[in-house]
Structure 1
Amino acid sequence: MNLVRAELFKIRTTSLWWIMGLILVPLYAASVLLNWATASAGAPAADSGTPDTQQAQIEAALKPINVATNLYTSGQFMGVLIVLLLCAIIVTSEFFHLTATTTFLVTPRREAVILAKFGAAVIVGLAVWAVTTLLNLVFVPLILSSLDFGSQLGEPAVWRAIALNGLAFVLWAVLGVGAGVLIRSQIAATLTLAILYTVGTSAVGLIFFLLTENVARWFENLQVLIPTTASQLMISGTELPGNPPRWVGALVLIGYALVAGTLGTLITKKRDIT
């Protein structure tokens, strides 16, 4: 626990955490407004030319329970990006500030250090999840009331989605530490992860869309291999037509986190520190 506290102290003593917090606030607000607008827009007419599968997905997503779970988990997309970057910096800051050598001399067992970084990352992820969740619990009932859906807080699916959203934040935090081990430069890690998360997600999604439309329909189900898609699948209120079950999204994200955690620990133990 002392090592975890030390890692959290390193985060608190830099200005980066509150800068990231200030960035998250408008992004969170934009997410809530976008989800509200989407719910208010309604489904397209049945004769609008929308493919049947897509029409069924849209109609299912606009059911009160799915609207509620989407709104109560608002802020996930950009929230986990902030967590990913912060947790990568838990590692890269050691090399940026030239404290890595001192850290590993004070604690020669490198696996203990990296596990402490994972522990601190989990706390960071849960903290961001808790803040966005509390804000959602304040504002979303008002939005749902304006849509005549009621708060939906009596539905187990809502609380399950909120809990799985917390799991997603934790897993992305672990991914962040693993990425920080692989990319030791703080600037390179921040830029690479931000670009891969935003542009890369859209690019890979487009590739799967083209494969689905031009090669075979089953490529559509493989989109769950995209980490952000897996996160979104985890927090759906009900099973959506044409989509894999929620547990598949959770399993994919857990797999990425396990690989990142294992590689991060092994690389840190073997890599020369200068």
Structure 2
Amino acid sequence: MWWLLGIVLGAYMVFMGVVMGFSLTTDPSSMSGSLGSGATLDGRQIAQTVYTLAVSVGYVFPLVIGALSMTGEFRHQTITPTLLAEPRRGRVLGAKLAVAGLLGTAYGVIGTAGAVLGGLPFLATKGDGTYLGDTGVLGDVVFSVVAIALWCVIGVGLGSLLTNQVAAVVVILAFTQFVEPVLRIGLTAIDPLQGVQKFLPGAAAEALAGSSLYSTSGMLSLLDRGWGAVVLLAYAALFALVGALTTLRRDVS
């Protein structure tokens, strides 16, 4: 499953890179392109938006594969021999988190590279340039990989908390594709809660990456990169800790 989801992620991000690269560089009124809010983007912003697409729309893949690495043990009942071989459950969880970080990094490279390759021809020929020599844009590319890697780690923590594989996947899909997008838009309409959306996991990941479809369009603002990293790491630690203190302490037969 891990390699299948990796292939799908790469293909999906190439497609999204093509779509966004084309749409943002072919606006009839400006070569800078524009998004739905009416905010006109310059060439650098377009490059940042396209290159970080994996964090904005592709993070469900590493999240799912991270969850499957834990829920699969319970679904196929391999958790019993696993814990017989290594009774220290904290070590088992730690090993899975470490491997998820490595696998997530691979997913980050695949997804980010797909977005870059998909959008590159349009940015180079119809836009203001690729901006791959810009240190700020390159930083966004690197931190996009880091953000995707952390999503995979969060998936392991979530899988340790929700061991039913179907339930975990349904929760992931519902939250990432519906709940959080609605919350991010809805919270901005409530004055006392406008800043809360910045601390949602998807928004924190985009803050770590440094750019997103939401922020460059002017629709929503993000935390600073450092705070984005702190919030995303906090989610990873919280899920793993709760899973370790609840599910992984139960008897396994």
CA distance in structure 1 between the aligned counterparts of 2:165 and 2:127, rounded to whole angstroms: 47
In structure 1, the residue matched to 2:71 is 92
SS in 1 for 2:163: coil
Aligned pairs (5 A) from 1:90-169:
90-169=69-148
Q: Give the count of matched residue pairs.
A: 243
* TM-superposed deviation, 1:229: 1.9
CA distance in structure 1 between the aligned counterparts of 2:165 and 2:140, rounded to whole angstroms: 33
* TM-superposed deviation, 1:30: 3.5
State which of 149, 152, 159 in structure 2 corresponds to 1:173.
Answer: 152
Which amino acid in 2 is paired with 1:120? Answer: V
* TM-superposed deviation, 1:137: 4.5
In structure 1, the residue matched to 2:239 is 260
Which amino acid in 1 is paired with 2:95? Answer: A
Which string of whole-angstrom CA distances, capped at 9 and with x for unpartnered residues, describes residues 135-164 of structure 1? 344444322112332221111111211121
**Would the aligned equivalents of 1:65 and 1:237 in 2 still touch at CA under 8 Å?**
no
For residues 78 and 271 of structure 1, do their structure 2 counterparts lie closer, same or farther at Cα, with a shift above 3 Å needed?
farther
**Would the aligned equivalents of 2:14 and 2:117 in 1 still touch at CA under 8 Å?**
no
**Would the aligned equivalents of 1:24 and 1:78 in 2 still touch at CA under 8 Å?**
no
TM-score by length of 1: 0.78
**Would the aligned equivalents of 2:108 and 2:147 in 1 still touch at CA under 8 Å?**
no
* TM-superposed deviation, 1:245: 2.7
For residues 90 and 251 of structure 1, do their structure 2 counterparts lie closer, same or farther at Cα, with a shift above 3 Å needed?
same
In structure 2, the residue matched to 1:48 is none
Which amino acid in 2 is paired with 1:151? Answer: T
The answer to whether structure 1 residue 30 and structure 2 residue 15 are counterparts is: yes
CA distance in structure 1 between the aligned counterparts of 2:120 and 2:6, rounded to whole angstroms: 24
Which string of whole-angstrom CA distances, capped at 9 and with x for unpartnered residues, describes residues 251-271 of structure 1? 221221121232233335522
Which string of whole-angstrom CA distances, capped at 9 and with x for unpartnered residues, describes residues 105-159 of structure 1? 1101111111111011111111111112333444443221123322211111112
CA distance in structure 2 between the aligned counterparts of 1:26 and 1:139, rounded to whole angstroms: 9
Aligned pairs (5 A) from 1:57-76:
58-59=39-40, 62-76=41-55
* TM-superposed deviation, 1:220: 3.0
**Would the aligned equivalents of 1:89 and 1:186 in 2 still touch at CA under 8 Å?**
yes
Which string of whole-angstrom CA distances, capped at 9 and with x for unpartnered residues, describes residues 14-71 of structure 1? xx224323432443233213422442365999xxxxxxxx66xx33xx1222211222
SS in 1 for 2:188: helix
Root mean square deviation of aligned Cα: 2.8
Q: Which runs of 5+ in 2 are unaligned?
A: 31-36
**Would the aligned equivalents of 1:87 and 1:174 in 2 still touch at CA under 8 Å?**
yes
**Would the aligned equivalents of 1:177 and 1:264 in 2 still touch at CA under 8 Å?**
no
CA distance in structure 1 between the aligned counterparts of 2:130 and 2:89, rounded to whole angstroms: 48
Which string of whole-angstrom CA distances, capped at 9 and with x for unpartnered residues, describes residues 177-204 of structure 1? 1110111111111111111111112221
In structure 1, the residue matched to 2:227 is 248
For residues 36 and 203 of structure 1, do their structure 2 counterparts lie closer, same or farther at Cα, with a shift above 3 Å needed?
same
Which amino acid in 1 is paired with 2:24? Answer: A
Q: Percent identity?
A: 25
**Would the aligned equivalents of 2:158 and 2:168 in 1 still touch at CA under 8 Å?**
yes
